[in-house]
Structure 1
Amino acid sequence: MGLSWQQGPLSLGRVGRFLVPDPLPERLLYAEPLRRRMRVRFNGAWIADSEDVVLLHEPGRYPVAYFPQDSIVAGTLEPDTFTSQHRDLGPTSWFTVRAGEHRKQRAAWQFAQLPAHARELQGRVAFAWPAMDAFFEEDERIVGHAADAYHRIDIRQTSRHLQVRSGDHLVADSKRPLVLFESGFAPRWYVPRADIEEAQIKPVEGQTFCPYKGIASYYDIGDARRAAWCYPNAWTEVARISGLISFEPDKVRVHLDGVQLKQEPGQTVVEHGIDRSLTVEEIAGRAASPVTEGSDITETPWA
């Protein structure tokens, strides 16, 4: 969860409410300075580099980075004939992005007639995330979308008793799980493999990635498909859960101190991340080489 998606305070599915006497507008957009150096790489060249990026939080979308036009290499942007209309911010002009002889149509955009209350975005340009080789903060690649400063993960050791059952089988029994608290989501309980009956879990093909945790692998448990998952090599920030397994309480029976856990409403991850089709190898190498030309990525216009 971030500020404006999943169950964040500016999302349409927020679980809390603002304590104000009058109802707020259904849609609230929030722009703020990123206060981090961000760079964009395209066709092997750096095309944008700025410490003055503005992040736009919009309901139901991941945050989008907007660069001042003078931070973009001259000749990079070629006006496109395509235009669109943003429901809140008005007419949108699109650009073909160029680096050397390589061009990508509809790969950047700018709001052409911003309302006065959205002046923070005046003269700024955003790049379509999947159309670029990669985005970086300093020298580290950012995968998935611009990092949301309001997305937080805390991991705590606990001695609470967690048991997992599938039918008549005891799949896991642990008094030393780790509990992962992630903004907007119910706690997730990760169990050491020594406390799991390995014969009860079957690895399956297919992986997903989380921009904050890394690449996840999945397991079937009996007839329950993808009822458990694991981050074999979780990213450094959450390395404590590497190799541990977590279980879906709506697919198998998970008891914590004797109380059965239930899947809470709104907890399903909405897979609308714009880098979702990157390969596992590219994601794993996020801090190394940028995405290679020809990767299987598709463009999703955000304006």
Structure 2
Amino acid sequence: MPDDAQYFPQMIVPVGHVEPVARRIRAFLAGSVLFDTVRARYVWEWPGYPQYCVPAEDFTEGVLVDEDHTQKLSLGVARRHGLRIGEVARPGSARLWTEEAPPGLAGTVRIDWGAPDAWFEEDEQVFVHPRSPYTRVDALRSGRAVRVELDGEILAEAPSTVMVFETGLPTRYYLDLVHTDLTKLVPSDTATSCPYKGTTSAYWSVSTDAGNYPDVAWSYDFPTRQLSPIAGLVAFYNEQTDIFLDGRALPRPAPVSRTTRPRSG
């Protein structure tokens, strides 16, 4: 059985890999549909997570604006387009792949994630970036006791937890707020989003006799449906605190690279 502090690295999909998306994908801008497709492709332009590429003919007529500019990108050649719906424009935000692209991409369009107002997989909104089909996230209730310390001071001590196992991240331990020492938690204005869990509702910094530590704990009041067991619970970064599981100290994992993963746990 693996040590609780260990975690399996995220599967590295080769750059340039293309595969079908087995989900309906939609994007909206200014209250209107940019595209609605069941023929999207995943493409990995860099390791970590994919992008969506959508057949040009699945875009609403007239929303793609050819900017008459060809670009040599890392995977091949694309023709730059903008997006326009009524008076709302997103210039330079779309790339139409030409024949000089990986097999399966010619004639599809990759648009910048921030260009639409919202993305949906089936009828559920997706945040930050497309969800990788090779990432799994499970939230499991557990009767194992968890204690969280920093500088030798107890921040939380709970008789049970909800463990979140996410590919590529350390196990996170979500605790009832009633079992935390609120005198050591200082509310923060920070908010982060995760494509698998949603948007955080709160962050806390920690103040001990030895120092102040920004954004050590967070919570989700309204997580995604799959992560509903963590609603209203608080978790602490394993990388920044000392966590004890059933009285056994867990080694601190190495910090997760922010270039490949969202920061929130």
TM-score, structure 1 as length reference: 0.74
Question: Conserved in 1, the CA contact under 8 Å of 2:12 and 2:48?
Answer: no
RMSD over aligned Cα, in angstroms? 2.5
| Match for residue 264 of structure 1 among 247, 253, 257 | 253
2:224 aligned partner: 235
CA distance in 2, matches of 1:91, 1:83: 7
2:5 aligned partner: none
Aligned partner of residue 207 in structure 1, secondary structure = coil
CA distance in 2, matches of 1:30, 1:271: 17
CA distance in 1, matches of 2:95, 2:193: 27
Question: Conserved in 1, the CA contact under 8 Å of 2:141 and 2:229?
Answer: no
Residue 252 and residue 265 in structure 1: after superposition, are their counterparts in 2 closer, same or farther (change >3 A)?
A: closer
Unaligned runs of 5+ in 1: 1-5, 12-26, 277-303
Structure 1 residue 65 and structure 2 residue 67: aligned? no
Question: Conserved in 1, the CA contact under 8 Å of 2:95 and 2:110?
Answer: yes
CA distance in 1, matches of 2:184, 2:161: 18
Matched AA of 2:219: C
Question: Conserved in 2, the CA contact under 8 Å of 1:200 and 1:221?
Answer: yes
- How far residue 182 of structure 1 moved from its aligned partner, in angstroms, is 0.6
Indicate the larger mover: 176-185 or 162-171. Answer: 162-171
- How far residue 166 of structure 1 moved from its aligned partner, in angstroms, is 2.8
CA distance in 2, matches of 1:177, 1:272: 24
Aligned partner of residue 129 in structure 1, secondary structure = coil
- How far residue 174 of structure 1 moved from its aligned partner, in angstroms, is 1.9
2:19 aligned partner: 32
* 1:1-303 paired onto structure 2 within 5 Å: 7-10=9-12, 27-60=14-47, 62-87=49-74, 89-114=75-100, 118-216=102-200, 217-222=202-207, 223-265=212-254, 267-270=256-259
- The one-character-per-residue Cα deviations of 1:210-256 (angstroms, maximum 9, x if unpaired) are 12112222112212222212112222221111111111233332222
Question: Conserved in 1, the CA contact under 8 Å of 2:10 and 2:48?
Answer: no
Higher fraction of strand: 2
CA distance in 2, matches of 1:102, 1:169: 53
Aligned partner of residue 229 in structure 2, secondary structure = helix
Matched AA of 1:126: R
CA distance in 1, matches of 2:186, 2:260: 24
Aligned partner of residue 46 in structure 1, secondary structure = strand
- How far residue 167 of structure 1 moved from its aligned partner, in angstroms, is 3.1
- How far residue 266 of structure 1 moved from its aligned partner, in angstroms, is 5.2
Matched AA of 2:96: Q
Matched AA of 1:99: I
- How far residue 101 of structure 1 moved from its aligned partner, in angstroms, is 4.3
CA distance in 1, matches of 2:33, 2:142: 46
Question: Conserved in 2, the CA contact under 8 Å of 1:48 and 1:72?
Answer: yes
Aligned partner of residue 57 in structure 2, secondary structure = helix
CA distance in 1, matches of 2:242, 2:110: 45
The count of corresponding residues between Structure 1 and Structure 2 is 251
Aligned partner of residue 114 in structure 1, secondary structure = coil
Matched AA of 2:192: T
TM-score, structure 2 as length reference: 0.84
Instruction: Name the % identity.
Output: 25
CA distance in 1, matches of 2:194, 2:100: 33
Question: Conserved in 2, the CA contact under 8 Å of 1:201 and 1:220?
Answer: yes
Question: Conserved in 2, the CA contact under 8 Å of 1:82 and 1:106?
Answer: no
Unaligned runs of 5+ in 2: 1-7
Residue 141 and residue 156 in structure 1: after superposition, are their counterparts in 2 closer, same or farther (change >3 A)?
A: closer
CA distance in 2, matches of 1:37, 1:168: 50
